[in-house]
Structure 1
Amino acid sequence: MNLQLVERIAAAVLYEGYILYPYRPSAVKNQQRWNFGAVCPESYSLAQGGTEAWTMQTECLATGSEHATLDVKLRFLHLLTREVGVPNADWDQRIADCGDSETQSSISDSDLNVVASLEVGGKIFQTWQEAIEREFCAPSLELGTLVAQAQRLSFDFPSSRALEQLRDEGGQIVGVIVRTQQSVEGAIELSAARAGEGLFKITARILNTTPLEDAKEKSRDDALMRSLVSTHTILGVREGELVSLLDPPDALRERAAGCSNVGTWPVMVGDEGERDCMLSSPIILYDYPQIAPESAGELFDGTEIDEILTLRIMTLTDEEKREMRGADERTRQILERTEMLPAEQLMKMHGAMRSVRPRGEDER
């Protein structure tokens, strides 16, 4: 398995749509984010009549004996709110009188006036949302074990609250960034069924079991704070092989068509021809997806072309660049990478030729 390639593809899926051009929170297209792979709390899904999913299911085929081993890794983004606040009049002295650990616990929301943005030292800090990468690895399990008994594996990530002080050139506290994250709880259900001689159907089901009180009254943004976002699953098989669902052998075509995938799209990943790893993605991909070698880095917008996005970033006004720089650490990296991009690197993005393969008879 080419683990490095698999991880790069998985990372691209994880951040697809994270923020779109023009990479500013004020842009209309960035007002509703997190549209891919959202697995919401069960109570919220039921309150919405099932329009928001609380489960994600992957089904695929594997060949081998019952001693073939399955490895499953769940990855998603865990959202947090980032609020920029201006302290009340008596707050600064109280901060000076206590240590950092005491500060975290002693400051409440009433001590701050939350603002949309705040400029400090020539930098813009904005109230918005951020995300932390999460992953859960299931223990290795033999297919025979999963045939005999399905496994349910629970996971949870706790809530958190952190403060970051913003000081002016004189060292005075003029603002605070408060990052708040709600807890999430969930489970992976793994099972396997014999589908023929030396053939197994594997099912991996992800559930969001996070409690959410008064779910009917909650907004989508409220629910997303307790959701798994950009959710995807990496499945690996040892002592066996996975079967492509997009291009299965003729003998297994009917079996492959019978796999039920809900909210996800499993494809083969790794080097071309390898059959030991599959990425179950919330966006549609082809088998063995590749990242263009000309790409200088992530742009989070797979519907666009790197060259076009890069040229557009170069034409942003100074004010637009300031907002982009202050939106998020990742947008700052995009801007700085683009501004320092050598001309020869930009030319590599232009007019790249890709090899093509002939279509089969059944594709014509």
Structure 2
Amino acid sequence: MTVTAFAPETEERFALARQVADAVLFEGYVLYPYRASAAKNRLRWQFGVLVPPGWGAECEEHDFQYTECLMEPKAGATLAVEARFLHARRRTVQRIRSDGGYETVPELHLDDRVLVPWDEGGEERVEVVAQVADLLGDGVTHPFRRPAREDAQPVLDAAGRTVGRLVRRCEEISGRIRLSARELDGPYRTLRLTAVVENTSDWTAPEGRGADRDAALPHSLVSAHLLMALSAGSFLSMTDPPEWAKGAAAACRNLHTWPVLAGEPGRADLVLSSPIILEDHPAIAPESPGTLYDATEIDEILALRTAALTDEEKREARGTDERAAAVIDLADSMPPEVLERLHGAVRSLREVTGEPPGFPDEHGVQRPDTPWWDPASDAGFDPEQDTVVVAGRPVGRGSRVELRPGLRHTDAQDLFLQGRAATVEAVLHDVDGTVHLAVTVEGDPGADIRREQGRYLYFQPDEILPLEDRP
């Protein structure tokens, strides 16, 4: 039997887990400086995008997420599942004409904001509750559909007069959730749970727009993830399973998502399967004053930079999105004592005993009395003169190179730098002997500021290709 209504106790547990799940749902929703005109806000929603299957073949994104994890349900247990995602809705701006009609415009100026076209994200939830016993064998399939819809919101000026309207359009999307379980051999009764979220929308790209991601987003499940709870029993950690379950955990397949234990620490009856890899029992820092959507920077720096925007920049940010407007208001109203808490916090302390590890001398012998790093050893390095050989050619300061980020992908922005030309600013060596190339990207309007502040992008020699001889 399958139903779609959560018991109050289950809803209470999900409400706690949603505090973290919301950070997944809105990760990168709108990035600093929170304006639609900002370049990094023109290619949005990089995590958990499930595209229509008819378009998935045209790109490197997927139309499904596949989760497998281990659970030990008790007799008569039920499994509650909540799939969450954003449904993109396209917003256009219209100005009222003298005849009372409306015309679409690129922007509409008000006293406190500048309204511009924008893709908003509306939260959607799909709830399924099933008996664990029903998951064995063929399992349970739950289809869902969200119809196309359109609505208009009047725009009023400071005097209360109608000066325009915002028209929002959602496209139809459909999908399904497939749940199944299989009992495993072992010392305890353990089931491998499989949960699949699929986009089944029949939309295909219009002729000539086969690679247009912007056209596919309104038909996609954006930032899709799962919350799963057992009414009786527990899940096993996929990150740190017990010794007897390590083989079964390693055999689980997880595609485009990763499951972790969620909810209160010490409990194991709730799982969050997320397109962003998290640790077990993730939590929002208590010092964080609110949602800033841009997790690439710490709260203090982001709040200070947001408060430092010009009045005109804030007007555009407020007109970009209601959530962006809330961030601007938060930064402007943040009291000093809240900023003080953002300087940092000690989460735990542990006693360190024994001598620190020594540093090998020229014969490879550990020398406990030698510091782990000797400043004098830097004397033989010069970042502005040193070179490294790449593809048979010396590369150093001033060399032009093509960026080819490797599999390490230490920064999500690597996606945008593939194939871009850059200039090497310095050749650096770390204490482990690894070489790093500090670069500025050609065409970056902030390159001069980066040089002045010494804030570069860093790549290793196997991530670049020389473009021409060094000047």
Partner Cα distance (2:105, 2:246) in 1: 57
Change (3 A) 1:20 1:67: same
5 Å-filtered alignment, 1:107-146, equals 112-115=103-106, 117-142=107-132, 144-146=133-135
5 Å-filtered alignment, 1:78-93, equals 78-90=87-99, 92=100
1:63 equivalent to 2:72? Answer: yes
Is the contact made by 1:120 and 1:166 (CA closer than 8 Å) also made in structure 2?
A: no
User: What does residue 421 of structure 2 align with?
Assistant: none
The structure in which a higher percent of residues are helix is 1
Partner Cα distance (2:206, 2:229) in 1: 36
Change (3 A) 1:328 1:62: same
1:8 equivalent to 2:19? Answer: yes
User: What does residue 138 of structure 2 align with?
Assistant: 149
Which residue identity does 1:178 align to in structure 2?
Answer: V
Match of 1:262, SS state, is coil
Is the contact made by 2:205 and 2:215 (CA closer than 8 Å) also made in structure 1?
A: no
Which residue identity does 2:193 align to in structure 1?
Answer: I
Partner Cα distance (1:281, 1:194) in 2: 24
User: Over aligned residues, Cα RMSD in angstroms?
Assistant: 2.0
User: What does residue 189 of structure 1 align with?
Assistant: 178
Change (3 A) 1:357 1:258: farther
User: What does residue 178 of structure 1 align with?
Assistant: 167
1:59: how far off? 0.6
Partner Cα distance (2:160, 2:227) in 1: 47
Match of 1:53 among 42, 59, 62: 62
User: What does residue 213 of structure 1 align with?
Assistant: 204
Change (3 A) 1:70 1:357: farther
User: What does residue 354 of structure 1 align with?
Assistant: 347
Unmatched tracts of structure 2, length 5 or more = 1-11, 352-471
Is the contact made by 2:73 and 2:230 (CA closer than 8 Å) also made in structure 1?
A: no
Is the contact made by 1:84 and 1:177 (CA closer than 8 Å) also made in structure 2?
A: yes
Partner Cα distance (2:206, 2:305) in 1: 41
Is the contact made by 1:47 and 1:215 (CA closer than 8 Å) also made in structure 2?
A: no
State the identity %: 40
Partner Cα distance (1:60, 1:356) in 2: 32
User: What does residue 269 of structure 1 align with?
Assistant: 262
1:87: how far off? 4.1
- Residue by residue over 1:310-358, the C-alpha shift from the partner in whole angstroms, topping out at 9 and shown as x without a partner, is 1111211111111111111111111111111111111011131111679
Instruction: Give the number of the structure whose alpha-carbon radius of gyration is greater.
Output: 2
Partner Cα distance (2:84, 2:224) in 1: 6
Of 209-218 and 226-235, more deviation after overlay is shown by 209-218
Match of 2:227 among 211, 225, 234: 234
TM-score between the two structures when normalised by the length of structure 1: 0.87
User: What does residue 447 of structure 2 align with?
Assistant: none
Change (3 A) 1:174 1:63: same
Which residue identity does 2:192 align to in structure 1?
Answer: K
Change (3 A) 1:262 1:28: same
1:39 equivalent to 2:88? Answer: no
Partner Cα distance (2:214, 2:145) in 1: 20
Aligned length: 337
Match of 1:74 among 83, 86, 89: 83
Partner Cα distance (1:55, 1:189) in 2: 11
User: What does residue 104 of structure 1 align with?
Assistant: none
Partner Cα distance (2:22, 2:46) in 1: 16
1:250 equivalent to 2:249? Answer: no
1:112: how far off? 2.1
Match of 1:244, SS state, is coil
The answer to which structure, 1 or 2, has the higher relative contact order (CA under 8 A, 6+ apart) is: 1
Partner Cα distance (1:338, 1:214) in 2: 41
Partner Cα distance (1:52, 1:309) in 2: 30
User: What does residue 320 of structure 2 align with?
Assistant: 327
User: What does residue 161 of structure 1 align with?
Assistant: 150
Match of 1:335, SS state, is helix
TM-score between the two structures when normalised by the length of structure 2: 0.68
Match of 2:122, SS state, is strand
1:120: how far off? 2.6
Is the contact made by 1:84 and 1:125 (CA closer than 8 Å) also made in structure 2?
A: yes
Which residue identity does 2:126 align to in structure 1?
Answer: F
Partner Cα distance (1:171, 1:310) in 2: 32
Is the contact made by 2:205 and 2:216 (CA closer than 8 Å) also made in structure 1?
A: no
Match of 1:285, SS state, is coil
